[in-house]
Chain A
């Protein structure tokens, strides 16, 4: 799951070296905290949150495969 998040985010930003993904594991859910360069915020969130929501949808599939719930936060 973390790999998927990193791949998507790094592919969408202008500064992939400034991408940080932190994984916080719980028993039933897992949280991914994504940090990107200030100027890349818009690229990972998108108009009306469209990009972030599409990434969440794909992440949900990966999570279901592992019997978990995944939360993606852009901080």
Chain B
């Protein structure tokens, strides 16, 4: 945030001056840094009293909040440029504490065009958003972009696919290969079958053709 608002206020006590400063900034005590300019109280030689004086300055947003705001703005600009009418909202974190990626949800009508074949467009949108945000803030933040809960649905269907194909590999007694998938989708398959007693998984192939192969245990990779 470029703007850092700051006000000075005075009162009969530090508390009173602080209250006034907060009211003027329209912020709560946590959002404001209070600097005491004058304690107030009796003046030297006891001639009258001096007012207490403080300076209140709005704290810059938390780094995570700042990233989220910038990310939302960047994504909205991109969508407007793509001639897409949609709403962008920040998903509340899954875990109250600890590192959470920033997740931006896009909602609206007919947004299939934003997902694209096998999620290709959505991946590009997330990649460019992340690149622009991190370039602007000179840092590296994990930013996830989702459209109408697509990723959750995809994860669920990939997990189901993994289990079905594992059953098939066991039944046939031979390796079963899945269609080529991007890295994070292959990862979902590997994780889904990681603790499976009867199969192992491995990625084979290069680049866009890389795919997961499920082996019944006892068989080895070629």
Contact = CB atoms under 8 A, between A and B. Distances in A.
Contacts of B221: none
Contacts of B135: 11-12
Contacts of B116: 57, 61
A8 B65 CA distance: 23
Interface residues of A, number: 20
Interface stretch (B19-27, B124-132, B154-162): B124-132
Contacts, number: 57
A48 to B, nearest CB: 9
B81 A3 contact: yes
Given A8-B132, A12-B135, A51-B131, A61 B84 contact: yes
Binding site secondary structure of chain B: helix
Contact of B121 (A4, A50, A51, A58): A58
Interface residues of B, number: 21
Nearest to B136: A11
Nearest to A11: B132
B81 A62 contact: yes
Nearest to A46: B131
Contacts of B77: 7
Contacts of A3: 81
A4 B78 contact: yes
A15 B135 CA distance: 13
Contacts of A7: 77-78, 81
